[in-house]
Homo-oligomer: A and B are copies of this chain.
Amino acid sequence: MKQPCGQHSHPHRLIQQPLTELTERLRQGARKITGPRQAILDVLRRHQSPLSNKEIHAALGKESCDLATVYRNLNTLEEMRLVRRFDLGDGVARFELLAEGDDGHHHHLVCRKCSLVVEIDECFPADIEAEIGRRHGFTQVSHRLEFFGLCSRCQVAPKPVV
């Protein structure tokens, strides 16, 4: 079913432009540019909505690797700030590609039925965090904010459309 990772004959084909920059960032962390690593980043590059480990694993084509490797890599990539982790509240971690220099701060509007995810611009007045922190003696305050609702499709269709 799965095949060993060392066997792909064109290891760099999927990486298009950001190879240099990517290589740079990987090297800085004493990280290696492996087949699975590239393939995972490539899957994220092709999707706009946050993807779960399992979804990413399923989307890997012939470059597939073990699910555990997907987990490990996403943890690593998050550490390196190449991806951002989202918690949509269903107990499944999802990830988005993070652009260079981008702090990736935005929120999501999630459909309760079909889990459709829309990116949201709205956010807090930034000073509220500091204010809240000061009021309660906290520092380094950040926040997590997600909206939930019923998307237009699920309002009419009683059955979820995945």
Contact = CB atoms under 8 A, between A and B. Distances in A.
A129 B142 CA distance: 21
A115 to B, nearest CB: 13
A139 B149 contact: yes
Nearest to A92: B91
Nearest to A137: B152
Interface residues of A, number: 31
A61 interface: no
Given A109-B132, A111-B138, A152-B138, A146 B147 contact: no
A15 B139 CA distance: 40
A141 B147 contact: yes
A112 B145 CA distance: 16
Given A91-B91, A128-B122, A142 B138 contact: no
Contacts of A151: 136-138
Contacts of A144: 89, 144-148
A145 B143 contact: yes
Given A141-B148, A142-B148, A145-B145, 14 more contacts: A89-B144, A109-B132, A109-B133, A109-B138, A137-B151, A138-B150, A141-B147, A141-B149, A142-B147, A143-B145, A143-B148, A144-B144, A144-B145, A144-B146
Interface of A: 87, 89, 91, 109, 111-112, 118, 120, 122, 128-129, 132-133, 136-152, 155
